[in-house]
Structures are given as structure tokens and as C-alpha cells.
Amino acid sequence: MADFTETMSSIGVFDAHLIKAYQQIYLVEQANLAKGLDSLVTKRFSDKAQTISFPKYSQLSLATTALTDKEDPASTVMADAEITLTALEYGNTSQITVYADAMSGGLPQLGTVAVHAKNMVETQEKLLILAGEAGSNELTVNATNEATTASTEVLTAAWVKRARNKLARVGAQKPWSCIIHPDVLHDLMIETGTNAWNEQARYSENVRVFSVGIPEFAGFTFYESALVTVNTDAGSSSVDTYHTQFFGFNAFGKFVNIEPQMRLTGPFDKLGRFYNIGWYGLFKYGLIDTDYHWIVTSASSIGSNA
């Protein structure tokens, strides 16, 4: 096959109104991202650097000693650390042929745009989840380790409150959030007893229901996501395990060099028969204040081998 010509065309194959329509599909998905997991991170933007630092400040000792009249108090040295994030390239693309598009009434174009817009959002959410799943602060429902977790050792209200205690003890700033797999949320929601989720839900002061349909419980706003990793056979007797994340404000950071966005390129071949639809971004998620982030590892009653 001959090489592509060095004289390449622009995206003239797309009409301006089509490009605008495609961009709108991406913008709708980005809006959904902004209301979901991406809303939980501290963001910094810079198109001038590939690496950026997030400051992490230690808390000051409480000033419980009264000041002395006419004396200037001693200054308190601010202790801080820097967490550095280096932006990485992410993206996805599909090639469309003019022939295939013409033979199906333009459906490949619209379908490809919609699929890639969804992929762009879910990729970012998965990268955030993976950054948190790499955290080192962990509670195990088994109380020993993940490898010995049995199928009956599921997440309960008591363990949610254990995670709450971990954040409260270090003064983690609110809002507090939880990222949870649907299998694990199922166990939490069907638990019975005085202090269980369903019992608390009887009282509006204890549980507030949001428009997404997932209540606030024990001080946490819950974000359900099937993108949470299922750790296949990680527990005892081939039991799958799950890492539910509980965290406070500034636990996560996101450095954005180039905001993920739609890319339309081509045609690059001599007859203008092929073009590309996809997305591209230069960004990075990471844990910033690890003291404000805890994982609770459990099985699920509806997980594998449960």
C-alpha cells in the first residue's frame, strides 16, 4: 500500500453545523462529569507546564494560651509539603470511512461521536477511582487482610461509621464523600437493624435523598459507580473483593494541561475516504491529602462466589 501523501487536508469533510452538533454531545457528557466524581477533586489548570505541585498544609496547634499585653506573639512556622502531578496524554479514536457512512445514512458518525463522548467521561472517572484505589489507608471488614476475606464479610453501617471516625479523628474537611460499587451498596442498603441504612432512612434528619437517588448516610454523600474495580478472586476461596473509598475535601487533585475534548481529524488519504472521530486530553488525577482518604475492603453478597 502506498504511503499517505504529505499534502494533508483539513476537516473540511465535516459541515460546520455537524461539528457544532457533535461538540454539543461532548459538552453534555462533560456536564455530567462535572456533577459526578470529577466534582470531588481539587483542580489546578496550566497550559504552560506538564508538571504542577499541590500544596498540603499541616494543621496548626490550637492557640489556647492567652496573649500577653504589650507583647508580640511568636510567629508559627507553617509546615507544608508538595504533591506533584505530571500530566499524561489520554485519548481514544475511531476511523470512519465515507463509504460506510454514506451507506447507512450517517449513523456511524453519530454513533461514534456518542460512544466516544461517553468513553471520555468514563475514562476520567476510572482514572480517579484507580488513583484512590492505590491509597495506603485501609480497613478490612475481615479485620485481618484482603486475602482471607470471606463471602459473608460485606460492608455494613458499622464499617461506614468506622471510616467516618478515621476522617473525623484527623479533622478531615467536609464535604465527605464515598465512591462505592453497586454490589457493595446493595449490601449496605438491605442491612437490617437499629443503626442500619434503611432504619436511618426513616428519619429525614439522618438521611437526605439527593436527585441522583442515593442518600447521604453517616455524613457521607454516596456516589455509586460500576467503574469501581472488582478484585477478582482476591479474597478467600475465590471471593471477589471491593475497595470502597471514603474521603474528605482535598483528598484528590486533578492537574489539567489540556482539558479532554472532541477531536475530528482528516481526511488524510488522497481521495478523502477516511476520517477520525475521538477525544484527547492531557491531565492527571492523584491523591493529595492521604490523611483524608480511607479504603474499606469487603466482599459482596452478590459478588462472584458469594
The band of 97, judged by pLDDT with boundaries at 50, 70 and 90, is: confident
Name the average pLDDT for the chain: 83
Q: Which range has the worst mean pLDDT, 1-10, 12-21, 180-189, 195-204?
A: 1-10
AA letter at 291: D
Q: Which residue has the higher pLDDT, 262 or 97?
A: 262
Residue 77, pLDDT > 80, answer: no
Q: Which residue has the higher pLDDT, 293 or 10?
A: 293
Q: Cα-flanking dihedrals φ and ψ of residue 21, to 5°? A: -65, -40
**C-alpha cell, 80:** 507544608
Is-above-0.85 flag for pTM? no
Asked whether residue 190 falls in the same domain as residue 47, the answer is no
The band of 170, judged by pLDDT with boundaries at 50, 70 and 90, is: very high
Distance CA 57, CA 288 (A): 11
Residues in the chain, how many? 306
Q: CATH number for the domain including 53? A: 3.30.2400.10
Residue 197, pLDDT > 90, answer: no
User: pLDDT, tens digit, for every residue of 101-159?
Assistant: 666 565 667 788 888 999 999 999 999 999 999 999 999 998 789 999 999 999 999 99
Q: Which residue has the higher pLDDT, 31 or 201?
A: 31
Q: Please name the residue that has the C-alpha cell 466534582.
A: 39
Asked whether residue 294 falls in the same domain as residue 169, the answer is yes
Asked whether residue 32 falls in the same domain as residue 115, the answer is yes
Residue 64 resides in a domain: no
The full DSSP string for 7-70 is: S---STTS-HHHHHHHHHHHHHHHHHHHHTGGGGSEEEE-SS-SEEEEEEEPPPPP--SPPPTT
Residue 303 resides in a domain: no
Q: Which residue has the higher pLDDT, 215 or 149?
A: 149
Residue 3 resides in a domain: no
AA letter at 272: G
Residue 70 resides in a domain: no
Asked whether residue 121 falls in the same domain as residue 25, the answer is yes
Distance CA 187, CA 154 (A): 7
Residue 63 resides in a domain: no
Q: Which range has the worst mean pLDDT, 88-92, 184-188, 217-221, 266-270?
A: 266-270
CB 82 within 8 A of CB 286: no
CB 244 within 8 A of CB 298: yes
Residue 118 resides in a domain: yes
Range of the domain at 241: 135-252+290-298
Asked whether residue 115 falls in the same domain as residue 156, the answer is no
How many separate domains does the chain show?
2
Residue 68, pLDDT > 70, answer: yes
Q: Please name the residue that has the C-alpha cell 451507506.
A: 103
